Amino acid sequence: MDREGTETSLALVVVAVLAIVVALFVGGWMLMAGSMMGGGGMMGGGGGSWGLGALLLAVFVAVAALALAFRPSRAPPPAPYPQPWSAPAPPSAAPTIPAPPSVTTEESARIERLQEAAVVRALDEDERRLYLQIREAGGTALQRDLVASGAFSKAKITRLLDKLERRGLVVRERYGATNRVKLTWKGLPGA
C-alpha cells in the first residue's frame, strides 16, 4: 500500500473511533436521561427519538469508516525490482554452439573397442573369461553350451551371468530348456 492509501485508511479509522465515542456518549446520555425520568425513557418534545437517531447515525458512520479503511486495495501491485541477471539476451546476441566434429566410422569403432576393453579390464578374472567366451562365440551363446565347454560348473556359470547381467553387459532370454545369452555392449554405458 502506498503512503497516500495508508494516510486515508488512518483518517478513516480515526473517524470510526470518534463515531464510536459519540455513539457511546449518546447511548450513555440516553440511559441516564431515561433513568432520571423514572424509567419511562421518554423525554418531553421527542428528545428520546433524537438521541436514538444520533446513536444510529454514529454507529453507521463508525461501520462505514471501518469498512472503507480496511477494504482491499484496487491499485495494481507495484512492479518488482528489475533483475539484471534475468533479462533475456537479444536474439541477435544468442551464443551459438559449434557442431561437434564428425567422427568417422573407423574412429567410432576404435573408440568402442577401447571402451569395451576398459569395461572388460574392470571385471574380475572369472567374469572376464566368461564375457570373452561369449564374445568369441559371436556375441550370442546358449547357457548349456557355456556349461558344456567345461570352463565352469553349471552353478558358477549362473552366478557369473547374474553378475554380468546386473552390470548390464549381457541379457538372458528363455530358449527352450536353456537360456540364450547375448552381449548387450553398445558402446557407451546406457546407449
The string of pLDDT tens digits covering residues 114-149 is 888 888 888 999 999 999 999 999 999 999 999 999
18 domain-assigned: yes
**Residue 188: inside a domain:** no
What's the pLDDT at 58? 73
Domain assignment present for residue 84? The answer is no
From 21, 49, 69, give the residue that closes a domain. Answer: 69
Query: Residue 50 sits in which domain range?
Result: 3-69
Do 113 and 178 lie in one domain? The reply is yes
Do residue 113 and residue 51 come from a single domain? no
Share of the chain above pLDDT 70, in %: 60
16 contacts: CB under 8 Å, gap ≥ 6:
61, 62, 63, 65, 66, 69
Domain membership flag for residue 10: yes
Q: Where are the beta strands (DSSP E) in 35-160?
A: 140-142
Give the Cα-Cα-Cα angle 170, 172, 180 (nearest 5 degrees). 110
Please state the domain count of the chain: 2
Question: Residue 133: which H helix or E strand, with range?
Answer: helix 125-136
Pairing of strands 140-142, 178-183: antiparallel
Decide if 165 is inside a domain. Answer: yes
Say what the pLDDT of residue 187 is: 46
In a domain, 134, yes or no: yes
Can you list the residues of the chain whose pLDDT is less than 50? 41-44, 187-191
**Cell 438521541 sits at which residue?**
51
In a domain, 58, yes or no: yes
Residue 90: inside a domain, yes or no? no
pLDDT of residue 120: 85
> Residue 128 is part of a domain; what is its CATH number?
1.10.10.10
pTM for this one? 0.43
What's the pLDDT score for residue 13?
Answer: 73
User: Which of 41, 69, 97 lies at the terminal end of a domain, its last residue?
Assistant: 69
Same domain (yes/no): 63, 128: no
Same domain for 115 and 174, yes or no, is: yes
